[in-house]
């Protein structure tokens, strides 16, 4: 190998590593967004216009696919819960019922409320919310309750807010005062649990008869990321911040387009008082609250020093699903919607949408730098719309970088784009064998943003081999840094109770967050981004699938010294495997053992790995790993 330090190769852009956020797998609600109450606005049974439910199946409106001309049908996940998230508990000596209603709403934009009619409260009646598979309540931390409710004139009892453990032990209580006028009361209270419960609950307890109507019930930890109101879970946001993202892409992903246009993501509905936000039934099988909205995303970008990327809808429903297209006459509507989003982020306070941002407490502009025009759209109809959007946005905002959905295969019929956005969800062999995929791609017309990529095929829920193959692919992107200027792994987050996409970067539960091996690949790449490549004459030969090459796996480090202890490897039947620690040349950094590929830990046993042996054997590896010096992070290989 000859390295000529004088011969500079491609530079690697500071924008290279970013993150892709989409409301999928409960990434936002029940994930990054700190709200603890599920279905806080009682809107979850609202369905997109023209859709209908049969049991637990939701059928979208039948539409004509614009690429094929066929009429498409579909079925998606629905719920049979009468009031999702909420249960009414009556004691032996009480009786009550609950019903959703649109009568006299507090907000026309979020019209549903819950009417609880208590007929007998000889033992108190409780309306209970279990959160997103539990609420993490931490001893002595403060929790902020907001309830918008009203009572009938004849309701004479008290209303009490309770924080409960999973076994219904009362951890905190506070009165909820309502004036009895029949108008909506907006009540705030602070609760401090006396003990920690990772699967806690919130209840409203009624000890009188009559009617109580609830429009909104929200519970937030007082401590959120950077203390933002309507903010983010600290541990999850810190995990994202740990990737040092240069940019954040939002809101997706397929949610941008919707199953059909009826349930596309509508950023304008994500603004303002969270209680007034309707949310939307998301492409991924549940209704999202729109709580982590456009303003919150822009604020998050500012807080972590990242640039924002907004993905707009061009009037096309998801082409993998219904694939409807708005009529030609409505393209202007979608364009205006996108222009308004840009103005909301960048416009000064004299502009209509800049003023709305200022009214939310942020007079200065937000760091919006990129707009992706459509998500995973293709075909002539898309190309036509892309040109219209590109021209109009460039004219008004020449500084913005505009991205098209085209991949390496060509840019169809469009006139010009600043960046293309190829996506890869593939098996490890693809990444190992395609580290040179960008080498001969033509330069000069546009840059590339690899907006979604992950090894998610043939790797179960994701494993070490997957992570390694991503690392190999990343090396190809960096070497071609004159073309590839940005990349984001996808999807980003998974609540362990709702895996709607096979492999995701970060797993979480109410009180735990875990970065899979791929997370540490992303982190390692971002933390060690080279300024430029140095040319060398090393040739790799034809890459072979990993199975033929490796007979070993191990732990190692990247600019880090780590210490391992209590290392235990067992075969499936429990037989211990002998470790030959002496065969390792450099004992500081790594040790090796024979035969296998690590797959992932679980949230319960984050120091435990399953090893799929190449020979077909399965091993379990358990160890303690500790960083003892050097740079952040260690790497498993």
The region of 34-42, 230-238, 246-254, 530-538 touching ligand AHR under the rule CB under 6 A is: 246-254
| Nearest-10 Cα torsion for 608, 613, 618, 621 | -20
Q: What contacts 394, CB < 8 A, 6 or more positions away?
A: 400, 402
Residue placing its CB nearer to ligand AHR in the complex, 353 or 501: 501
The region of 146-154, 247-255, 338-346, 467-475 touching ligand AHR under the rule CB under 6 A is: 247-255
**Binding flag, residue 372, ligand AHR (CB under 6 A):** no
Helix axes 331-346, 380-396, angle to 10 degrees: 40
Taking CB under 6 A as the criterion, the residue among 253, 354, 462, 481 binding ligand AHR is 253
Residue placing its CB nearer to ligand AHR in the complex, 376 or 511: 376
Residue placing its CB nearer to ligand AHR in the complex, 252 or 293: 252
- Residues in contact with ligand AHR, total (CB under 6 A)? 11
CA distance 473 to 432: 7
Residue placing its CB nearer to ligand AHR in the complex, 41 or 500: 500
The region of 154-162, 164-172, 178-186, 251-259 touching ligand AHR under the rule CB under 6 A is: 251-259
CA distance 527 to 630: 13
Residue placing its CB nearer to ligand AHR in the complex, 296 or 452: 452
Residue placing its CB nearer to ligand AHR in the complex, 452 or 511: 452
Q: How far is the CB of 381 from ligand AHR (least distance, A)?
A: 18
Angstrom CA distances, 280 to 44, 45, 61, 285, 463, stand at 8, 10, 15, 10, 33
Q: How far is the CB of 134 from ligand AHR (least distance, A)?
A: 26
Residue 349 and residue 363 in contact, taking contact as beta carbons nearer than 8 Å: yes
| 481-540 binders of ligand AHR (CB under 6 A) | 490-491, 501
Residue placing its CB nearer to ligand AHR in the complex, 18 or 252: 252
| 17-46 binders of ligand AHR (CB under 6 A) | 22, 24
Tokens of 280: 């939307």
Residue 224 and residue 232 in contact, taking contact as beta carbons nearer than 8 Å: yes
Q: How far is the CB of 525 from ligand AHR (least distance, A)?
A: 19
Taking CB under 6 A as the criterion, the residue among 375, 417, 488, 495 binding ligand AHR is 375
Using CB positions, name the residue nearest to ligand AHR.
253
Residue 294 and residue 267 in contact, taking contact as beta carbons nearer than 8 Å: yes
Q: 3-state secondary structure string, 161-225?
A: EEEECCCCCEEEEEECCCCCCCCCEEEEEEECCCCCEEEEEEEEEECCCEEEEEEEEEEEECCCH
Taking CB under 6 A as the criterion, the residue among 452, 470, 478, 509 binding ligand AHR is 452
**Binding flag, residue 252, ligand AHR (CB under 6 A):** yes
Q: How far is the CB of 342 from ligand AHR (least distance, A)?
A: 21
Angstrom CA distances, 293 to 23, 229, 280, 282, 630, stand at 11, 13, 12, 14, 38
Residue 190 and residue 115 in contact, taking contact as beta carbons nearer than 8 Å: no
Residue placing its CB nearer to ligand AHR in the complex, 219 or 254: 254
Residue 289 and residue 279 in contact, taking contact as beta carbons nearer than 8 Å: yes
Which residues contribute to the site for ligand AHR (CB under 6 A)?
Answer: 22, 24, 252-254, 375-376, 452, 490-491, 501
């Amino acid at each position: 190998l000859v390295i000529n330090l004088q011969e500079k190769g491609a530079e690697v852009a500071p924008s290279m590593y970013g993150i892709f956020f989409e409301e999928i797998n409960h990434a936002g609600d029940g994930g990054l967004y700190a709200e603890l109450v599920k279905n806080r606005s009682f809107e979850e049974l609202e369905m997109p216009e023209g859709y209908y439910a049969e049991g637990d199946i939701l059928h979208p409106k039948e539409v004509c696919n614009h690429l094929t001309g066929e009429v498409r049908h579909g079925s998606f996940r629905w719920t049979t819960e009468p009031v999702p998230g909420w249960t009414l508990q009556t004691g032996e000596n009480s009786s009550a019922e609950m019903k959703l209603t649109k009568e006299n709403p507090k907000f026309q934009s979020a019209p549903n409320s819950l009417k609880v009619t208590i007929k007998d409260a000889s033992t108190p009646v409780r309306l209970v919310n279990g959160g997103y598979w539990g609420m993490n309540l931490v001893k002595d931390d403060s929790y902020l309750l907001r309830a918008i409710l009203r009572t009938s004139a004849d309701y004479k009892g008290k209303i009490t807010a309770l924080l409960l453990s999973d076994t219904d032990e009362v951890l905190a209580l506070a009165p909820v005062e309502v004036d009895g006028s029949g108008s909506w009361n907006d009540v705030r209270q602070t609760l401090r649990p006396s003990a920690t419960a990772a699967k806690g609950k919130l209840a409203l307890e009624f000890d009188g008869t009559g009617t109580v109507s609830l429009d909104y019930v929200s519970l937030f930890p007082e401590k959120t990321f950077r203390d933002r109101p309507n903010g983010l879970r600290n541990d999850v946001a810190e995990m994202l911040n740990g990737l040092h993202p240069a940019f954040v892409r939002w809101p997706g992903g397929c949610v941008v387009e919707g199953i059909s246009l009826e349930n596309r993501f509508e950023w304008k509905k994500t603004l303002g008082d969270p209680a007034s936000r309707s949310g939307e039934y998301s492409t991924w099988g549940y209704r999202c609250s729109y709580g982590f909205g456009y303003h919150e995303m822009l604020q998050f970008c500012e807080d972590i020093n990242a640039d924002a990327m907004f993905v707009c809808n061009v009037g096309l429903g998801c082409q993998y699903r219904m694939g409807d297209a708005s009529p030609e006459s409505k393209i202007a509507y979608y364009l205006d919607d996108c222009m308004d989003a840009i103005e909301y982020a960048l416009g000064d306070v004299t502009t209509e949408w800049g003023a709305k941002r200022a009214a939310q407490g942020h007079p200065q502009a937000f760091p919006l730098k990129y707009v992706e025009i459509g998500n995973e759209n293709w075909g002539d109809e898309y190309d036509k719309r892309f040109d219209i959007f590109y021209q109009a946005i460039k004219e008004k905002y020449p500084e913005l970088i505009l991205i098209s959905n085209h991949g390496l295969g060509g840019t169809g019929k469009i006139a010009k784009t600043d960046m293309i956005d190829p996506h890869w969800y593939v098996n490890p062999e693809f990444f190992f064998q395609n580290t040179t995929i960008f080498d001969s791609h033509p330069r000069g017309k546009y840059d590339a943003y690899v907006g979604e990529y992950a090894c998610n095929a043939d790797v179960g829920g994701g494993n070490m081999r997957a992570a390694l193959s991503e690392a190999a692919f990343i090396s190809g992107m960096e070497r071609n840094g004159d073309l590839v200027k940005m990349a984001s792994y996808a999807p980003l987050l998974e609540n362990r109770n709702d895996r709607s996409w096979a492999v995701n970067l970060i797993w979480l539960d109410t009180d735990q967050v875990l970065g899979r091996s791929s997370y540490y690949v992303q982190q390692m790449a971002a933390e060690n981004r080279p300024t430029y490549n140095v040319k060398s004459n090393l040739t790799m030969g034809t890459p072979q699938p990993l199975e033929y090459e490796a007979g070993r796996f191990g732990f190692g480090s990247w600019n880090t010294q780590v210490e391992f202890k209590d290392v235990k490897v067992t075969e499936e039947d429990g037989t211990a495997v002998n470790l030959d620690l002496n065969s390792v040349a450099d004992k500081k950094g790594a040790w090796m053992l024979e035969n296998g590929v690590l797959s992932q830990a679980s949230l319960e046993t984050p120091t435990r790995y399953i090893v799929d042996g190449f020979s077909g054997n399965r091993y379990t590896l358990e160890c303690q790993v500790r960083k003892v010096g050097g740079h952040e992070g260690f790497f498993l290989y």
